[in-house]
Amino acid sequence: MRGGAGVSSTGQDDVRQENRRGRPRSEAVERSIVEAVVKLLEEGAPLAEISIERIARTAGVGKATIYRRWKGKEELLVDVLKDIEPVDPPLPGTSVRDDLVAMLESLRRRGLAQRSSVLLHNVFAQMKSYPKLWDAYHDTVVEARRRLGREIINRGVAEGAIRADVPLDLINDIFVGPMLLRTILRPDADLPEDLAEQLVDLALEGLKPQV
C-alpha cells in the first residue's frame, strides 16, 4: 500500500531492523575513530600535529564523518581521554562519607593510571602547553566532578555532618586538594588503598559543625 495513512507491519519491522543494524555500525565507526586517535598517540604523534584530516585518514573515514559526531579536535580528544582513563565508579549513595570516599578513590585510581600509563602521562604533560584542549577537558570533565563534589557537600551540610559557615568551593578543595597534591604535584608520593578514607575522615572531623 503506497501513500496510505499508515505503514504496514512488514514495513515497520523493516525500519526497526534497519535501526538495529544502523546503531552498531555507528558505534563501530565512533570506536574506529577513537582507536585511530589512540594509535596516533601511541606512535608518538604530538597533540598539536593530530589533525582531523590525519585522524580521518588513520580511521579510514571521511572528515565529515568525524564532524557529524564531534564539533572539533578538542572535543574528540576529550572523549578519547575519557575512554582511556579509569571509569568513575557510581557513588554508593549510602552516606555522605561513603560518597566522598568514592569520589576521592576515583582520583586516586586516576593518579595510579597516569603513573603506570606512558600514554596518559604523555598526553597530560602535553596538555599543559595546549590550552584549548585543557580548557575543553576542564569544562567537560573537571567541572563535572567539581559539581558532583558540591552536590555531596551540600547534602552533608543539610544533614548536619558538615558546617554551613564555610564556602562550598573551599570545602570541596579541602577534600580534593590533598589527593590532587599527591597524584599530580608529588608523583613520588604513596597512594595507599585507604588514602581516600583517611583524607575524608580527617576532613570531616575538622569540618564538623561547631557546637
Give the CA-trace dihedral at 109, 111, 116, 119, to 10 degrees. 110
The reported pLDDT for the residue numbered 88 is 86
Q: What is the pLDDT of residues 76-121, one digit of tens each?
A: 999 999 999 988 888 999 999 999 999 999 999 999 999 989 899 8
CA neighbor of 86 nearest in space, from 53, 115, 55, 129: 115
Give the predicted TM-score (pTM) of the model: 0.79
> Are both 65 and 104 inside the same structural domain?
no
Confidence of residue 61 (pLDDT cuts 50, 70, 90): very high
For 64-209, strand residue ranges (E) read: none
Query: C-alpha cell of 104?
Result: 576521592
Q: What is the pLDDT of residues 169-189, one digit of tens each?
A: 999 999 999 999 999 889 889
CATH of the domain at 178: 1.10.357.10
Cα 129 to its chain centre, rounded Å, is 20
> Are both 153 and 97 inside the same structural domain?
yes
> Are both 135 and 38 inside the same structural domain?
no
Q: Give the domain range for residue 148.
A: 85-206
In a domain, 98, yes or no: yes
In a domain, 192, yes or no: yes
> Are both 91 and 67 inside the same structural domain?
no
Least confident of 16-20, 131-135, 143-147: 16-20
In a domain, 78, yes or no: no
The reported pLDDT for the residue numbered 178 is 96
> Are both 46 and 90 inside the same structural domain?
no
Query: C-alpha cell of 176?
Result: 580534593
Total number of domains in the chain: 2
In a domain, 4, yes or no: no
> Are both 99 and 170 inside the same structural domain?
yes
The Cα 43–Cα 56 span in angstroms is 16
In the predicted structure, residue 208 carries a pLDDT above the cut 60: yes
> Are both 91 and 28 inside the same structural domain?
no
